[in-house]
Amino acid sequence: MESELFGHEKGAFTGAVERREGCFEQSHGGTLLLDEIGEMPITTQAKLLRVLEDRRVRRLGGKTEIQLDTRVIAATNKPPEMAIEQKTLREDLYYRLNVFRIELPPLRDRKDDIAPMAEAMIYTLNRRHGTRVTGIHPDTLAQLEAHNWPGNVRELRNVIERAVILAGEGQIRSVHLMLDHTQSTPVQPVVQEASGSLVLPPGLSLSKAEEAYIQVTMDYVKNNRREAASILGISLRTLQTRLAELRAKRAAGEVGKEEYRTNVS
């Protein structure tokens, strides 16, 4: 790691056959990002502190110091105070780095960022995979916003990439998602009471309400698709498509059997 950061000279001391510039030298006049600073060995942190203080670096095995003009950004996925307490981050290095602190909340606390971030990801992924995905269906976006995102932006990127590949073109729909549903806000069940009224809880999406009504209608006509299509006012082909989508969601675990509790006799 020290060789990567500070570089090295060739010779017997380092065992290297050629000289190498480290990351600090390569970023001279620019910016160096040190990701997961709390994972860096303590001994290396001490040497890093001296480089930041003196603004000079000496390659491993070298005798001269090189003047630096580098902006340093350090990142960590845990609170720095916790890392200091756990002895994985030197306190003096933290205070040297903590000139300007930016705290980025977890994705679950900034759900409004999901839509624009996903849109940017889709644009990039379309170019990478040769797909023609145009966006995310509103109901699918609601599912993404209900997820707790324990993996933050990295998890969102993976979910969107899988969905882009599965969809290929058009809008990303629920069937294209692969989410851990234990990390999502539970959906209230849709209930049809014995009186024949359909109870829809507040906050239910239009798509979920439509699925519930289709399911209740199918139960009412004892799975006679032509009669159900006539009652619903749609073509038989449209009904078959919607039922296929519903089966796909159930197979993917997006709709549990308990979601539609009916009392149709």
List all residues 6 or more positions away from 104 whose beta carbon is below 8 Å from its beta carbon. Answer: none
Structural domains in the chain plus CATH codes? 2-97 (3.40.50.300), 107-183 (1.10.8.60), 190-261 (1.10.10.60)
Distance, in Å, from the CA atom of 125 to the CA atom of 138, rounded to the nearest integer, reads 20
Rounded Cα distance, 94 and 177, in Å: 40
**Residue 53: pLDDT band with limits 50, 70, 90:** very high
Mean pLDDT across 78-91: 89
What's the pTM? 0.54
- Does residue 141 surpass a pLDDT of 80? yes
Side-chain half-sphere exposure of 60, counting CA atoms within 13 A: 21
Residue-wise pLDDT tens digits, 183-236: 555 444 454 544 455 666 655 667 777 888 888 888 878 888 888 888 888 888
Statement: residue 2 has pLDDT above 90: no
Q: What angle do CA 35, 40, 42 make, to 5 degrees?
A: 150
Residue 149 has pLDDT above 70, yes or no: yes
